[in-house]
Chain A
Amino acid sequence: MHLSHPKTPTAHASHLEFHKLRTLPSRSFIYSYATLSALTATLLVVLILGLLAYQSGSAIFEANDSLLGSVWSPAKNQYGILPMLYGSLIVMVLAMGLALPIGILTALYISETRSETVRRLSKTMLEILAGIPSIVYGLIGVAFLSLWVADIFYLQTGRVILTASLLLAIMILPTIITLTEDAFSNVATPYRENAYALGLYRFEVIKEVILPQAKGDVIGAAFLALGRALGETMAVMLVIGSLDRIPTPAYNILSSAQTITSKLGREIAESAFGSTHFNVLVLMSLILVVITLSLTGLAHILFKSAGSND
């Protein structure tokens, strides 16, 4: 049979149908559905930020003078957020200072030993570590770490800045190790081989070749980990001591303090919706989100620029 015979009814029909298929509007059901979902995802971010900004806007007017002070006392209409900002900052910096060196050294061990077994085992180990929920870390902090800190430094309570920082350092280690290890492993093998072939020691190869090449990614990883540390709530809330004061002297890490997240976790349920107290808490949350998102954004810019260098 001549297949393309125009007068054969079947051929004619299929030809028609083909034509119909081709001109079917592209704005089909799937298109609208997909667009809607993507819009939802994008709008959620706008909605979250907008709602927080809207709710916290009034806080600035209602608590204007006291906001930048260091006294927190809703009963006296004093809403100083400095203690919380300071607490978040010092806990974050300390945790980072502890976790970053250990994390980078561990990542170097994993990547430069160049053993598949070590790498696979470590990755599994890190996934397990990252899978432990933060509330469990909090439990460990309360049941062990804070008691140890109290014993070692003869403190009345072990719920102090140092404890929170230690706990947080353990919690961000997996992020740091995973990301920096990837960065080190991604340094092209020829660089490594050329450097080794010149008779350099492993230490020198790492210092002169691996670290400079992976610098962008490592800094990115650090920013991302900072964001995580800043946003962590449960574990910190349980071991920070919840004291709304800047410690005296300010570097006294053996004193209780308060971070933004722990403040939010403790007081949101207590404050009435719409009150100045509540709105100031929302404002703090907005500050937290803005800082975290900037850190995350910076991290991804660094990852991107490091990636395009190759």
Chain B
Amino acid sequence: MPAVNLKTLAKEFNYAMPQTSKSYLKLVGEKPAETAIKAENFSAWFGENCVLSGVTTQIAKGRITCIVGPSGSGKSTFLRSINRINDSVPRYKMHGSLSVEGLDLDKKTSSLTQLRAQVGMVFQKPCVFPRSIKENVLFGLRGHKISRTEKDQIVEQSLKSAALWNEVHLRLDQSATTLSLGQQQRLCIARALAVKPKILLLDEPTASVDPVSGRSIESLILKLKHDYTIIMVTHDIRQTKRIADDIMFFCSGALIECGTNEFMFSKECSEQSRLYLDEAFCEC
């Protein structure tokens, strides 16, 4: 789709976002899908350190949104704010609103837990619990009343969706720590899927695994896109180009620009984004 059209389309659907302190924020896209996450003037601090300032955006359902930007730009903080996992970090404060699937959050634990059950997350470093593979997959369902057969089904289903079933179905009772790093990362994805979330947050899921496993995780992500809203932080710009539907570019704690993959890699996007996406270079 030609870039010019995108801009006009954006106007047409009134998809453009209000002014932020940093720059005019353009969100350009195709006909907007339903919104999964909506941030309004969202800011975050670690102690006195402002790591996110005035982020206002929407993230569409059923698409892969890649968050890119240099180190320390606040992209991970933003991702971790979505399921409020940052709440447990000492001295973390936030301000503004961030609603997920229409859930407006107060500080109550039960709603936090509900939120986290809807928003699966996979971290940069695979972290399996020192238990069997099966127990790892079912970890998020502890406390739920589920029959044995149901459990087996869930394990099979989740591992299949995470493309791990063929490799491990004969040793489900072995310790998960015996798996390779790439397998562990896919196990983490399976574990997140077993809770049946609507949104999947991925914090550089391929950064700490070897390239081959990275590619298999990548293709897995593409497959998962049909069932889940996927939001992913990545440093790999080529990977972004390969799999992203939408791209958000963060720099020094501000959302500089976001738009579809085509738009962000076209000549239409701002100078800053292009510099970063072309040459991984950032002036801000």
Residues of A near any B CB (own CB < 8 A): 114-116, 188, 190-202, 204, 208-209, 212-213
Contacts and interface: CB of A to CB of B under 8 A. Distances in A.
Nearest to A118: B90
14 contacts: A114-B88, A114-B89, A114-B90, A115-B90, A190-B123, A193-B123, A194-B121, A194-B188, A197-B116, A198-B192, A198-B195, A199-B140, A201-B109, A201-B113
A200 B142 CA distance: 8
B26 to A, nearest CB: 31
B120 interface: yes
B238 interface: no
Contacts of B118: 199
Interface in B117-131: 117-121, 123, 125, 127, 129-130
A193 B85 contact: yes
A202 B108 CA distance: 12
Contact of A196 (B116, B130, B142): B116
A191 B127 contact: yes
B7 to A, nearest CB: 37
B184 to A, nearest CB: 11
B140 A198 contact: yes
A204 B89 contact: no
Contacts of A197: 83, 85, 116, 119-121, 123, 192, 201
Contact of A198 (B109, B130, B191): B191
B45 interface: no
Contact of A199 (B88, B114, B123, B201): B114
A196 B88 contact: yes
A191 B90 contact: no
Given A115-B90, A116-B90, A195-B139, A200 B113 contact: yes
A201 B143 contact: yes
Contacts of B121: 193-194, 197
A111 to B, nearest CB: 11
A196 B85 CA distance: 7
B120 A204 contact: no
Best-surrounded residue of A191, A194, A201, A204 (most CB of chain B within 10 A)? A194
B91 interface: yes
Nearest to A207: B142
A82 to B, nearest CB: 44
Contacts of B120: 197-198
Contacts of B191: 198
Interface residues of B, number: 30
Given A114-B88, A194-B188, A199 B195 contact: yes
Name the 9 nearest CB pairs between A and B, nearest first.
A199-B117, A198-B140, A197-B121, A199-B116, A190-B127, A116-B90, A194-B127, A114-B88, A193-B85
Given A114-B90, A208-B139, A190 B113 contact: no
Given A115-B90, A209-B129, A200 B123 contact: no
Interface in B206-248: none
A190 B122 CA distance: 11
Nearest to A115: B90
Best-surrounded residue of B117, B140, B188 (most CB of chain A within 10 A)? B140
A204 B120 CA distance: 17
Given A190-B123, A192-B88, A194-B188, 13 more contacts: A116-B90, A193-B123, A194-B121, A194-B127, A196-B85, A197-B119, A197-B121, A197-B201, A198-B191, A200-B142, A200-B143, A201-B113, A213-B130
Best-surrounded residue of B90, B119, B192 (most CB of chain A within 10 A)? B90
B90 A199 contact: no
Nearest to A190: B127
Contacts of B195: 198-199
A97 B113 CA distance: 33
A201 B112 CA distance: 9
A194 B123 contact: yes
Contacts of B125: 190
B50 to A, nearest CB: 19
B100 to A, nearest CB: 13
Contacts of B139: 195, 198, 200, 208
Nearest to B80: A193
A212 B135 CA distance: 14
A199 B127 contact: no
B127 A116 contact: no
B234 to A, nearest CB: 18
Contacts of A199: 113-118, 140, 195
A114 B120 CA distance: 22
Contacts of B142: 200, 204, 208
A114 B109 CA distance: 15
Contacts of B119: 197
A116 B91 contact: yes
A193 B188 CA distance: 12
A208 B115 CA distance: 20
